[in-house]
Amino acid sequence: MRKRALITGITGQDGSYLAELLLAENYEVHGTVRRASIERLDRIEKVIGRINLHQADLLDQNSLMNILKEVEPDEVYNLAAQSFVPTSWKQPIYTGEVNAIGVTRLLEAIRLVNKGIKFYQASSSEMFGNTPYSPQNEETPFYPRSPYAVSKIYGHYITMNYRDSYGMFCCSGILFNHESPRRGEEFVTRKITLAAARIKLGLQEKLKLGNLDAKRDWGFAGDYVRAVYLMMQHNQPDVFVIATGVAHSVRDFCKAAFECVDLNWENYVEVDSSLIRPADVNHLVGDSSKARKLLKWKPEVSFEQLIEMMVASDIELVKRRKG
């Protein structure tokens, strides 16, 4: 029989890649969507006829209970979140409601409907924040620097708590930053690749950024959802760090992206102090040896290939939007 998966956050970057991967693995794929005045299904356009969408929200307990009863999934992937760090200072309570209590709502729904459903929680390298230890692995202490990071720590620990208290298959992936042409346009990588494309095509003059010294371990979202899937197929529910092991600064990213369109980034990028965060995370780099050993996972797309892919896609997008 076909396995059935439910993805919360299927309309997001990772949800769309995971849906494609699970379809390729012959799953019956279900996803949650939130009601909005305009439907935003662009990321899942390619697979829309092959997946099943259901209205639900992590803020609404009954919608989660009903969907679990209706779909009867074997696996639930909880990717839904308020995922933009700066918004978490503007809306800290909302961020906590979705990213922290929302996880408990979903876990409670699973516990009450069917404790046998496997559960994946999308945890984040932001939980490490400004930890003095580098590189970060599954044992590294957390030092969160934003309401987002704090909310994700709650989500991570409640997941482990349901595993240990109720013997449920609950695993948590601590994923470092992962990007793609489907990345939201406000995140720094996409903001840079889109600007490089627009500047090259004469539609934008300058790119305003905040902290250029921040370093991140950037990978490709397509590689990372494969790790997520492998965690759910592992013989026991566990915690895994997923990362490339190489960090670059925002400045490095700018240089490489503008080089893809034969421009010198220094002529276009300006620092805007209003984009500097109340507290930033300066340097993150992950050690994913556990996943490499136990899940036989490794990233396939390099930093340079990722940037080329994103810039090429944004050039096409900008040309289409212009037309």
Interface with ligand F7E by CB under 6 A: which residues?
A: 83, 85, 124-126, 176-177, 186-189, 191, 209-211, 214, 216, 250, 275, 277, 280-281
Alpha helices in the chain (DSSP H): 13-24, 61-71, 85-90, 92-96, 102-113, 147-166, 188-200, 221-233, 250-260, 289-294, 303-322
Task: Decide which of ligand F7E, ligand NAP, none touches 8; Cβ closer than 5 to 8 Å per partner kind.
Answer: ligand NAP
- Please identify, among the stretches 73-81, 135-143, 202-210, 270-278, the one whose residues bind ligand NAP according to the rule CB under 6 A: 73-81
Distance CA 115, CA 103 (A): 15
Cα separation values, 66 from 32, 69, 154, Å: 12, 5, 24
Please report, as residue ranges, which positions from 176 to 235 form the binding site for ligand NAP (by CB under 6 A): 177-178, 184
DSSP string, 186-226: TSHHHHHHHHHHHHHTTS---EEES-SS-EE--EEHHHHHH
* Three-state DSSP class for residue 99: helix
Distance CA 250, CA 61 (A): 39
Check residue 216 and give left, alpha or beta (phi > 0: left; psi -120 to 50: alpha): beta
Q: Which residue number, 28 or 223, has a Cβ lying nearer to ligand NAP?
A: 223
The site string for ligand NAP over 1-20 (x = CB under 6 A, - otherwise) reads -------xx-xxxxx-----
Active site residue 17: no
Distance CA 197, CA 312 (A): 8
Active site residue 27: no
The site string for ligand NAP over 79-108 (x = CB under 6 A, - otherwise) reads xxxxx--------------x----------
Task: Decide which of ligand NAP, ligand F7E, none touches 82; Cβ closer than 5 to 8 Å per partner kind.
Answer: ligand NAP
Distance CA 320, CA 323 (A): 5
Q: Which residue number, 127 or 168, has a Cβ lying nearer to ligand NAP?
A: 127
- Shortest separation between residue 26's beta carbon and ligand F7E, angstroms: 29
Cα separation values, 258 from 188, 198, 310, Å: 14, 11, 12
Distance CA 179, CA 109 (A): 31
Q: Which residue number, 32 or 124, has a Cβ lying nearer to ligand F7E?
A: 124
Q: Which residue number, 199 or 237, has a Cβ lying nearer to ligand NAP?
A: 237
**In the β-sheet with 4-8, what is the strand arrangement from edge to edge?**
51-55, 28-33, 4-8, 75-78, 118-124, 170-175, 239-242
Active site residue 126: yes
Among 5, 6, 27, 32, binds ligand NAP (CB under 6 A): 32
- Shortest separation between residue 152's beta carbon and ligand NAP, angstroms: 7
- Shortest separation between residue 304's beta carbon and ligand F7E, angstroms: 18
Task: Decide which of ligand NAP, ligand F7E, none touches 216; Cβ closer than 5 to 8 Å per partner kind.
Answer: ligand F7E
Task: Decide which of ligand F7E, ligand NAP, none touches 288; Cβ closer than 5 to 8 Å per partner kind.
Answer: none
Residue ranges that bind ligand NAP, judged by CB under 6 A: 8-9, 11-15, 32, 34, 40, 57-59, 79-83, 98, 122, 124, 175, 177-178, 184
* Residues acting as catalytic residues: 124, 126, 148
